[in-house]
Amino acid sequence: MIRLVIAGIIVYVIYRLSRFLFTPAGKISKNRPGEQSRIEGEDLVKDPYCGTYVPINSAHKAAMDGKTLYFCSRECLEKYKKENG
């Protein structure tokens, strides 16, 4: 029985070590399950309606007057369109 436990521990340590050694550095995730991953150095854009800064990949986008505008929420986008439409 003790041999089985020791063998299990050895297999687990080998598995974790091989996973650490063979996983590319950029692929290691430090996020918890269900948590969105963040990109290092991601650009922030300013919402023209409320003035908050939001990551560009999660912003709501709208093209107006030949420019792309970024909003923190659908509500800010709709309010901006209504006032500046």
In this structure, the chain runs to a length of 85
Look at the pTM and tell me if it is higher than 0.85: no
Q: Kindly indicate the confidence band of residue 52, based on its pLDDT and cuts at 50, 70 and 90.
A: very high
Statement: residue 35 has pLDDT above 80: no
Statement: residue 44 has pLDDT above 70: yes
Residues 6+ apart with CB under 8 A from 48: 69, 71, 80
Per-residue DSSP letter, 44: E
13-32 residue pLDDT tens: 999 988 888 877 655 555 56
- Residue with token string 């919402």: 47
Per-residue DSSP letter, 26: G
